[in-house]
Amino acid sequence: MLGQRIAQFYKNQSEIELLCVSAEDSYFESDVEYKQMDITDKNSVKKIILDFFPDVVINAAAYTNVDKAETEKELAWKINVTGVEHLALYSWTIDAHLIHVSTDYVFDGKEGPYSEIDVPSPVGYYGRTKMASENSIKISGVRAAIIRTNVLYGPAKYGRADFVKWVIDSLKNKKKINIVTDQYNNPSYIDDIVSAIDSIIELKKEGVYNIAGDEVLNRYEFTLRIADYFGLEKKLINPIETIELNQPAPRPLKSGLITLKAQIELGYKPRKIEETFKLFKEELDI
């Protein structure tokens, strides 16, 4: 989803030569240059980066299935850590600026929201792989910015539905949904993330930046806001606690990201939630 949006943002900028890559069949529009690349394959990464010789490498690829990561540890590590090591190595080789997308799951969710200087302490294997990916970048010597975000949502033509679209589709189909009341974060609109990435590139910024929405709220509250805006039945939304889901992987409960650094250094201004819903509705014609 994020990769699609980044491509859409940059594809019509005449001064930019854009190359989109992914391991599987292209999820990008036909009017962008696309090549297949598996970040877990060192030679594949080497060939693409050394042939294209980019000024900037943006990594939005990740193994993101939090529960499956507990049993598919080798695969999760291979994509989230080994793949990032390859990108960092060859970005460093050509002095490219690496932009890496990370997550609030690097924190344990006991004392959120978190700033960039808070010490990571992940509670699940997915979070551990993302923390390791951040560390691999930091020790590689590459010029890099790490973006931490959470609960990414926004209109996307391809790939699986995000949380907002899932809620809308479920409630439109009169399906009852269980939503947790004890997981807190600040949902992040995808175009705000893209805007922040562009600012980081333009300003040649390095280091860690929290890029997220401007409201920290629990998932149940967020779901009620979705239902209110789109005129859907709130009685179909059943509030529960995380423990009732009996999920394989633990979740950081009291999370969220403080974006003050990004606001000061990047001029970052996340849209209000209802404004993002308006844009979502207009683009997908919901």
Q: What is the pLDDT of residues 238-248, one digit of tens each?
A: 999 999 999 99
Look up 126 and say whether it is catalytic.
yes
Domain count, the chain: 1
DSSP string, 197-217: HHHHHHHT--EEEE---S--E
Residues of the chain above pLDDT 90, percent:
92
Report yes or no on 10 lying in a domain: yes
CA-closest candidate to residue 50, choices 94, 98, 99, 95: 94
- Which pair of structure tokens corresponds to residue 213? 């929405």
Report yes or no on 137 lying in a domain: yes
Candidate list 10, 90, 114, 126, residue with the active-site label: 126
pLDDT digits (tens, 9 = 90+) for 138-153: 999 999 999 999 999 9
Which residues lie closer than 8 Å to 42 by C-beta, 6 or more apart? 86
Report yes or no on 56 lying in a domain: yes
Asked if residue 76 lies in contact with residue 133, where contact means CB atoms within 8 angstroms, the answer is: no
pTM score over 0.85: yes
Report yes or no on 224 lying in a domain: no
pLDDT digits (tens, 9 = 90+) for 68-84: 999 999 999 999 999 99
pLDDT digits (tens, 9 = 90+) for 92-126: 999 999 999 999 999 999 999 999 999 999 999 99
pLDDT of 26 above 70: no
Per-residue b or e along 109-118, where b marks 16 or more CB atoms closer than 10 Å to that residue's CB: beebbbebee
Q: What's the confidence (pLDDT) of residue 25?
A: 66
Q: What is the mean pLDDT of residues 44-51?
A: 98
Going by pLDDT thresholds of 50, 70 and 90, the confidence category of residue 39 is very high
128: domain CATH number is 3.40.50.720
Q: What is the mean pLDDT of residues 85-92?
A: 99
Burial class, 15, CB count within 10 angstroms (exposed 0-12 / middle 13-18 / buried 19+): exposed
pLDDT of 27 above 70: no
Q: What share of the chain is helix, strand, coil (3-state, %, to 5)?
A: 45, 15, 40
pLDDT digits (tens, 9 = 90+) for 166-197: 999 999 999 999 999 999 999 999 999 999 99
Report yes or no on 44 lying in a domain: yes
Report yes or no on 171 lying in a domain: no
Report yes or no on 84 lying in a domain: yes
- Which pair of structure tokens corresponds to residue 27? 């999820």
Residue 10's domain spans which residues?
A: 2-159+186-215+255-271
Q: How many Å from the N-terminal Cα to the C-terminal Cα in the chain?
A: 18
Per-residue b or e along 44-76, where b marks 16 or more CB atoms closer than 10 Å to that residue's CB: bbeebbeebebebbbbbbbbbebebbbeeeeeb
Report yes or no on 221 lying in a domain: no
pLDDT of 160 above 80: no
